[in-house]
Amino acid sequence: MRRLAGTRALVTGASSGIGAAGAELLAREGADVALLARSRKGLDIVAARVRAADARAVVTEADVADRAALDAAVERAARELGGLDVVIVGAAAGTFGRFGETPPEDFDRCMAVTFGGAVNTIRAVLPHLHRSAGRLIVIGSAADAIALTLMSPYVAAKHALHGFTESLRAELQAADSPVSLSVIRPGPVDTPFWTHLTHPEGLVPPELPPLSAYSADTVARAVVACAIEPRNTVTVGGSIALVELANAVARPVVERALALLARLGRARASTEEVPNGLWEPSGDGTVEGGLGGRPSALAALRLRGSRPDGGGP
C-alpha cells in the first residue's frame, strides 16, 4: 500500500543528499513531489527517479536565501500540484575552519541559507499547509545541542533553527493550527554536504571515520515516516543520544574533548576541484558522500510501523 497516495509534497535541498533520498521515498509511497534547489542538473536527475516511481515531479529552481525567488518557486509548486500537503525543509550549506579564519561573508551566507532559508521556506508554505491541514518537516541537526568544532556558522544556524521551530510549534498549538511540525535531528550524515563545505583555499576537511556517519537513506526514512505519521522530534543516531547524555551530566568533560578535537582538527591538502556548496549550485543527484554511512537502530525502533519500504534499515 502506498501510504502517501494523493499527497502533494515539496522538498527543498532536493538536488542531493537527504533531500534527494527523501524525494524518491515520498514518490515510492505515492506522493507527487515538487523539487526545489539551486542546481538544475541535480533536480532533473532526482525528478527522473521520482517519475520512475510512478509519481509526478515538478522542478523549481531557487536559492532559499533569495526570498522573492523562493516565494515564486513555492507558488509555482503549489499551483502545479494543486496545493501542498507535506513540506520538507532541508536546504543547508556550511563552512569548515576556525571562526577567526572564516571570512565574514562566508559566515553570513551560511546563516542566510541554513537558518534564513528555512525561515523563508516556512513563511512561504504555511498558508498552503494551513489550507490542507498539512505536515511541515524540518531537517535540523544534533549540532543544535552539541558544540561541534570548526563549523561555528553551521552550528549557530542549527541552534537558531532549533529555537525558531520550538517557538513556532508553541504558536501553532496556541492557535489550534491543523499544521503538524516535525523536526528531524540527525548526527553526522554521509552526504555530499561534507565534501562541498567552503574551506581554506587548497584544503579540504579531514575525512570522517566511516562509523561516525549515518546514511542519508536512514535519515530520509525518518523524514518520510513523519510525513506518514507526524512526531514532534526524532533524533537519528544512538551515538548522538549518548553524546547528549554525556553533555548533560558531564559537560566539562565533553567541552574538553571538543576542544581537543579542535586542536587536532586539520584540513588536508587537495588538488581536486570540488563544488563550493556555500556559493555555487553543487547538487548532482548524488545521495551518499562515500563515507560508509550506516543505519540507525534508534530511529528504526522509534519509527517502526511508519517507516517507508517496510521499515528496513
For residue 4, the SS3 value is: coil
* Rg, the chain, Cα only: 18
Cell of 115: 537558518
Q: H-type helices in 147-198, by residue range?
A: 152-174
Cα 124–Cα 191–Cα 141 angle in degrees, nearest 5: 55
**CA pair distance 291, 285, nearest whole angstrom:** 17
**CA pair distance 14, 115, nearest whole angstrom:** 17
> In whole angstroms, how far apart are CA 209 and each of 37, 189, 190, 217, 293?
29, 11, 10, 18, 9
**CA pair distance 228, 149, nearest whole angstrom:** 35
Q: Catalytic residue among 107, 115, 154, 214, which? A: 154
**CA pair distance 87, 120, nearest whole angstrom:** 13
Listed in sequence order, the residues at least 6 apart from 227 whose beta carbon sits closer than 8 Å to its beta carbon are 4, 7, 9, 26, 29, 31, 86, 88, 135, 137
**CA pair distance 40, 180, nearest whole angstrom:** 30
Sign of CA dihedral 193, 218, 295, 230: positive
Listed in sequence order, the residues at least 6 apart from 305 whose beta carbon sits closer than 8 Å to its beta carbon are 229, 311
For residue 154, indicate whether it is catalytic: yes
Positions annotated as catalytic residues are 154
